[in-house]
Amino acid sequence: MEENQTMVTEFILLGFCLGTRIHQVLFGLFLLCFTFTLLGNGVILGLIYLEFRLHTPMYFFLANLALVDIAYACNTVPQTLVNLLDPDKPISFAGCIIQTYLFMAFAVTECLLLVVMSHDRYVAICYPLHYTVIMNWRVCVILALAFWIFSFLLALVHLVLILRLPFCGPHEINHFFCETLSVLKLACADITLNKIIIFTASVFILVGPLCFVLVSYTRILMAILRIQSKGGSRKAFSTCSSHLCVLGLYFGSAIIMYVAPKSQHPKTEQKIPFLFYSFFSPMLNPLIYSLRNTEVKGALRRALGKETHSQLLM
């Protein structure tokens, strides 16, 4: 029986199946989002690297977030753009599996990073006098290395569980990229173990950290309300509210995808959370987290001022 099975060597991404004209509109929109993602996060990385005043734990984690967003977008968006222009163009089995692995790794990395960043803000606002002791550089580097290594190891577990499965057809993935659950549906074997591991990991990575984040920001909010200075409380509240927007977008989309019960809506509607997760979140993160920040805007003005001055001298 197994000898008569033909193993799949490539997949077809069905994408959105909305017609050529709408695909062209989506191509332009997604390309614009991708460009802003690369530019926004690239500017953040450059400013943090060049500006000595931004060499603090907060911006160290923001640099990691920008790096994750760039890598995340580069992993999923180019293939989606190609698929919008040529829906029949296949993706190789190896390329699809690599995309699945990197998608999981970067998603977990960003989740853990957002949790660490919320803890950083909690310490900065609630324990300002002890901030430099608690969030020293040694702790920050260890945390960064820990969540990067853990994320790729956890994704490796999912990868091994996927590779043990035979794929003998069909070869059409009902998604715009090689999303884990969509790939598993094409396996010619029982995927119960894979689903259990994914659900367990999702609860551990999403629900647990989300509870931790909510507790942290509840305490932050209480500390903000006790601030006597209106300017200080307004600045702290603005920073935390922007962070909560990112957290709500990220965790909300992820929980809908992997933890919440599957809805009976059409497959196209079920892909909408992935659009926020894959396209809009990496684009909005630098705007919400960094470019609204006074110190970052000051560093950007200084950088532009230096460039303008150097051009005048030339």
Q: Distance between CA atoms of 206 and 104, rounded to whole angstroms?
A: 13
CATH superfamily of 7-303: Rhodopsin 7-helix transmembrane proteins (1.20.1070.10)
Nearest to 49 by CA among 301, 308, 239, 299: 299
Domain ranges of the chain: 7-303
N- to C-terminal Cα separation, the chain: 75
Q: How far apart, in whole angstroms, are the C-alpha atoms of residue 276 and residue 121?
A: 25
Q: Are 170 and 10 in contact (CB under 8 A)?
A: no
The whole-number pLDDT of residue 86 equals 85
SS (H, E, C) the chain: CHHHCCCCCEEEECCCCCCHHHHHHHHHHHHHHHHHHHHHHHHHHHHHHHCHHHCCHHHHHHHHHHHHHHHHHHHHHHHHHHHHHCCCCCEEHHHHHHHHHHHHHHHHHHHHHHHHHHHHHHHHHHCHHHHHHHCCHHHHHHHHHHHHHHHHHHHHHHHHHHHCCCCCCCCEECCCCCCHHHHHCCCCCCCHHHHHHHHHHHHHHHHHHHHHHHHHHHHHHHHHHCCCCHHHHHHHHHHHHHHHHHHHHHHHHHHHHHCCCCCCCCHHHHCHHHHHHHHHHHHHHHHHHHHCCHHHHHHHHHHHHHHHHHHHHC
Asked if 299 contacts 47 with a C-beta cutoff of 8 angstroms, the reply is yes
Report residue 133 as tokens: 């002791």
Q: What's the pLDDT score for residue 87?
A: 82
Contact 139, 146 (CB under 8 A): no
Report the alpha-carbon distance of residue 122 to residue 240 in Å, rounded.
Answer: 9
pLDDT in tens, the chain (314 residues): 344 455 778 888 888 777 788 888 889 999 999 999 999 899 889 888 888 888 888 889 989 999 999 998 899 899 889 888 888 888 899 999 999 999 999 989 988 888 898 888 888 888 888 888 999 999 999 999 999 999 999 999 999 999 998 888 778 888 888 888 889 988 888 889 998 998 888 888 888 888 888 888 888 888 777 765 655 566 666 666 767 777 777 787 778 777 766 654 445 666 777 777 778 888 888 877 776 667 777 777 777 776 554 544 44
* Bridge partners for 12 per DSSP: 172
**Position 91, amino acid:** I
Partner residues linked to 172 by β-bridges: 12
Token pair 């803890």 in the structure block, residue: 119
By the 8 A CB rule, do 155 and 104 touch?
yes
The pTM assigned to this predicted structure is 0.85
Residues in CB range of 254: below 8 A, 6 or more apart: 107, 111, 202, 206, 277
